[in-house]
Structure 1
Amino acid sequence: MRVTLLGTGDTTGTPTVGCGCDTCEAARDRGVSRSRFSVHVTNDRTGDSLLVDFSPDFRSQFLANDVPLPDAGVVTHIHFDHLDGLGNVYRLVDGLPVHAPNQTDPATDESVAETIRDKYDYLEDRIGVHAREPFEPFETCGFEVRFVPVDHPPLLCFGLVVEDPETGAKLSLTGDTSYDVPERSREALADPDLLLADAIVPASLCEHHPIGGRHEDSNGVPRTFGSKHMTREGALALADELDADRTRLVHLAHFYPPEEAFAEPLAVDGEVYEL
């Protein structure tokens, strides 16, 4: 299993357009990018590849990385920075299976799968949307894949488990989430060879959020920034609880101080891992 981090940033990415903050300037000086979130997973046995989330930066990500167009895709939730790149598949692929959760969201009265069908009805001859029940494994690209519910109010959001049944390699993605990941989902995500964990900002920045931080540890350090995303400290605590063999922090904002923004284990675009 080859995992390529196509996009490791949050909704605005780093550098952020029009921003001259020290962190964005440092990214420009280093020649690194954190574009909107997306992950490419290749099955070395079959040659098939799976795309996790369709970033609005789809075109530039595929031009910048030596990866093939996907044979299938999955969508974790309907926020634009995870979905709106799907329109890029027009004229590029034909018959692309797109797997998405089937659970109805009270906030939209639709499941993720139904929203994709409605929003991208003009792609009906290019993609096929497959509704999947949370926790129920399905096969795609030679992998066993499961959606697992996480916590990203007000929308339903899902993490992902990708396993190779032949080699035993396991990739876990938290998806966009607070630290309040349900216990059953933690059990599904546990013991990965690689964990990609949402860590939008360091806990020190919670003091600047209108509602602060949540899920403090025994020392009072917030593991959730506001209500939607984990802090760096929260993501690392979750990684420890999940006994991840290796952890990369993703969905990172440009608000990290420049002296912290590129330290381990914060990821940047283009990283590749063999599991």
Structure 2
Amino acid sequence: MEVTLLGTGDTTGTPTVGCDCDTCAAARERGVERTRFSVHVRNERTDETLLVDLSPDFRQQFLREDLSVPDAAVVTHIHFDHLHGAGNVFRLTRSLPVHAAAEVDPTTGESVAETVARQYDYLDAIEVHDQEPLEPFTAAGLNCRLVPVDHPPLVCYGLAVEDPETGAKLSISGDTTYDVPEDSRDVLADPDLLVADGIVHAEFCERHPRGGQHHDADGVPRTFGTKHMTVDGARALAEDLNADRFRAVHVSHFVPADRAFEDPFAVDGERYRL
């Protein structure tokens, strides 16, 4: 299984449009980017490919990495930076199976699968397949399971992807606080690689109107505000899940420039073979 981190940034990306902060300046100087979130997975046995989330930066990401249109996709939730690249498949393929959760969101009154189908009903190529959370399904020849996480006010899901023959495993936390349910943690556990939401360092919680949550024994917040993990929380989740490797994604430009490109913060284009 070959995993490429296509987009490792938050909603605005890094560099952020119109921003002259030290972190955005450093990204420009280094020639690196953190575009909006997306992960590409290639099944090396079958040469099929799976795209996790349809970033609005789809075209740029696929041209940059010299990739073909994926054979299947998964949508974790309906926020702009994870879904609204779907229109990029227009005229590029006749068929793109898109897997999404069937659980009805009390906030929207419809499931993620239903929202994708409704918003992109004009695209004949998109074939939405609704999946029950925690139940296995197959995409691109790989075993997958969507797992509920905590990203209020909308339902949101992490994803476990496993090669049924080699046992290689990728876990993606999804956009979430540290409060990932235990049954979801059980599915995500023991990955060869964990790709986890880690938007800023814990000390930045002091600048958030709602501060931080889910503090560890030393008082370090593992959740930034109410929707995302701090990188400290993402690291703690990696330890909880016994991950062999861990990369923090959904990274914001608020991470100080002198630490923004250090481990474990990922940048676009990182590639891993599991």
Bin of the TM-score, shorter chain as denominator length: over 0.9
**Which residue in 2 is equivalent to 1:188?**
187
User: 1:208 is aligned with what amino acid?
Assistant: R
Q: Is the 8 A contact 2:72 2:96 kept in 1?
A: yes
Q: Distance in 1 between matches of 2:50 and 2:215?
A: 36
Q: Distance in 2 between matches of 1:127 and 1:28?
A: 35
Sequence identity percentage: 68
**Which residue in 1 is equivalent to 2:113?**
113
**Which residue in 2 is equivalent to 1:147?**
146
Q: Distance in 1 between matches of 2:107 and 2:128?
A: 21
Question: Offset of 1:140 from its aligned partner?
Answer: 1.3
Q: Is the 8 A contact 2:149 2:174 kept in 1?
A: yes
Q: Distance in 2 between matches of 1:67 and 1:145?
A: 22
Count of equivalent residues: 274
- For structure 1, list consecutive stretches of 5 or more residues without a partner in the other structure: none
Q: Distance in 1 between matches of 2:136 and 2:93?
A: 25
Q: Secondary structure at the match of 2:78?
A: coil
**Which residue in 2 is equivalent to 1:133?**
132
User: 2:89 is aligned with what amino acid?
Assistant: V
User: 2:111 is aligned with what amino acid?
Assistant: S
Instruction: Please report the RMSD computed on the Cα atoms of aligned residues, expressed in angstroms.
Output: 0.5
**TM-score normalised over the length of structure 1:** 0.99
User: 1:258 is aligned with what amino acid?
Assistant: A
Q: Distance in 2 between matches of 1:141 and 1:117?
A: 20
Question: Offset of 1:66 from its aligned partner?
Answer: 2.7
Q: How is 1:53-132 mapped onto 2 (pairs within 5 angstroms)?
A: 53-123=53-123, 125-132=124-131
Question: Offset of 1:219 from its aligned partner?
Answer: 0.8
**Which residue in 2 is equivalent to 1:269?**
268
> What CA deviation, in whole Å up to 9, does each residue of 1:24-68 have, x standing for no partner?
000000000000000000000001000000000000000100322
Runs of 4+ deviating beyond 2 Å = none
> What CA deviation, in whole Å up to 9, does each residue of 1:179-202 have, x standing for no partner?
000000011100000000000010
> What CA deviation, in whole Å up to 9, does each residue of 1:129-183 have, x standing for no partner?
0000001000111100000000000000000000000000000000000000000
Query: Larger % of strand: which?
Result: 2
Q: Is the 8 A contact 2:69 2:89 kept in 1?
A: no
Question: Offset of 1:93 from its aligned partner?
Answer: 1.0
> What CA deviation, in whole Å up to 9, does each residue of 1:207-243 have, x standing for no partner?
0000000000111100000010000100000100100
Q: How is 1:105-254 mapped onto 2 (pairs within 5 angstroms)?
A: 105-123=105-123, 125-254=124-253
User: 2:21 is aligned with what amino acid?
Assistant: C
User: 1:98 is aligned with what amino acid?
Assistant: V
- For structure 2, list consecutive stretches of 5 or more residues without a partner in the other structure: none
Q: Is the 8 A contact 2:74 2:98 kept in 1?
A: yes
